[in-house]
């Protein structure tokens, strides 16, 4: 799958948990009427719209053109733009930067943090949640084992995600001029949507980096093998539940940063 090629239909039909679970993060953001807020990794716009409903002036950005197109269709009255989280172009424009389930996709975390700091007004706040150290560890073990059985060498090198520890990410923010005021790393087992096909749908949505490593005709075998290896830990009573581990953080831009 080409970089930033996402399927918004699959995202909305089978992965609504991404934004539904992110609603809890809005309490940390506490958007106020009249504030300018940047939503980094807005997807198809659901949380952007909930921020706007509080009276804030919000801009949603995402690296995937298909997601931005769908967000504009979903919420035509709101503003959405394609932009890379590691190359934010803004300068002291926002009272807050919000990001849900996005920053684990950004390997250049220092550039992202620097861009977030620059986007904030002095004293502005940054509120985010994303995959932390240990996220989907059981699933990844099953994926790596199955890829190796199919002849893919060093499958872990195909992992596209950045899952930092709490200390690692807090230090990264501090060195980029963002003062951490709250941080938590916690387990959040997450039931998948889609019944029997839920794990395959999740891999189709988020794991193309792995399925692209094998020929198309062998991908059904790969998916079956991963499911068989992972079922003991991740499937109960017919429901696939991924071993999500989330890092939630709140920081502010220092007045002189």
Q: pLDDT band for position 223 (50/70/90)?
A: very high
Residue 195 pLDDT: 84
Cα–chain center distance at 54:
23
Q: pLDDT band for position 2 (50/70/90)?
A: very low
Whether 100 and 129 have beta carbons less than 8 Å apart is answered as: yes
Q: CA–CA separation, 74 vs 103, rounded Å?
A: 23
Backbone phi, then psi, for 177, in 5-degree steps? 85, 20
Does the domain at residues 8-136+162-191+243-253 carry the CATH identifier 1.20.140.10?
no
SS3 47: helix
Domain borders along the chain are: 8-136+162-191+243-253
pLDDT of 9 > 90? The answer is no
Burial-class residue 211 by CB neighbours within 10 Å (0-12, 13-18, 19+). Answer: buried
Q: CA–CA separation, 105 vs 97, rounded Å?
A: 17
Q: CA–CA separation, 44 vs 75, rounded Å?
A: 9
Edge to edge, the sheet with strand 190-191 lists 190-191, 239-242, 235-236
pLDDT of 14 > 80? The answer is no
Tell me how far apart the 2 most distant CA atoms of the chain are, in Å: 57
Q: pLDDT band for position 21 (50/70/90)?
A: low
pLDDT of 85 > 90? The answer is yes
Cα–chain center distance at 125:
19
Between 29 and 18, where is the model more confident? 29
Residue 146 pLDDT: 97
Q: CA–CA separation, 163 vs 59, rounded Å?
A: 26
Q: CA–CA separation, 51 vs 100, rounded Å?
A: 12
Whether 159 and 140 have beta carbons less than 8 Å apart is answered as: yes
Could you read off the pLDDT of 108-165 as tens digits, one per residue? 999 999 999 999 999 999 999 999 999 999 999 999 999 999 999 999 999 999 999 9
Q: CA–CA separation, 195 vs 190, rounded Å?
A: 13
Backbone phi, then psi, for 76, in 5-degree steps? -65, -20
Q: CA–CA separation, 112 vs 118, rounded Å?
A: 10
Question: Which DSSP category does 69 fall into?
Answer: H
Residue 1 pLDDT: 38
SS3 7: coil
Cα–chain center distance at 112:
13
pLDDT of 12 > 90? The answer is no
CB atoms within 10 A of CB 140: 20
Query: Which strand (E) or helix (H) includes residue 95?
Result: strand 94-100
CB atoms within 10 A of CB 147: 22
Residue 10 pLDDT: 59
């Amino acid at each position: 799958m080409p970089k930033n090629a996402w399927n918004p239909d699959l995202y909305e039909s089978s992965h609504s948990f991404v934004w539904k679970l992110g609603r809890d993060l809005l309490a940390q953001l506490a958007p106020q009427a009249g504030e300018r807020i940047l939503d980094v990794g807005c997807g198809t716009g659901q949380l952007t719209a909930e921020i706007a409903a509080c009276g804030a002036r919000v801009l949603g950005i995402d690296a995937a053109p298909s997601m931005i197109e769908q967000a504009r269709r979903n919420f035509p009255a709101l503003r959405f733009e394609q932009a890379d989280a590691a190359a934010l172009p803004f300068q002291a424009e926002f009272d807050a930067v919000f990001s849900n389930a996005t920053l684990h996709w950004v390997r250049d975390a220092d550039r992202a943090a620097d861009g977030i700091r620059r986007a904030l007004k002095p004293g502005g706040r940054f509120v985010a949640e994303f995959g932390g150290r240990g996220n989907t560890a059981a699933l990844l073990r099953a994926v790596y084992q199955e890829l190796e059985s199919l002849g893919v060498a060093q499958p872990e090198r195909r992992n596209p995600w950045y899952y930092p520890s709490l200390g690692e990410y807090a230090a990264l923010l501090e060195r980029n001029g963002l003062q951490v005021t709250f941080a938590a790393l916690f387990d959040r087992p997450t039931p998948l949507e889609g019944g029997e096909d839920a794990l395959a749908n999740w891999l189709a949505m988020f794991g193309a980096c792995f399925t692209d490593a094998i020929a198309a005709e062998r991908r059904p075998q790969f998916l079956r093998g991963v499911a068989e290896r992972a079922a003991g830990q991740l499937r109960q009573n017919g429901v696939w539940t991924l071993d999500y581990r989330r890092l939630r953080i709140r920081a502010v831009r220092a007045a002189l940063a």
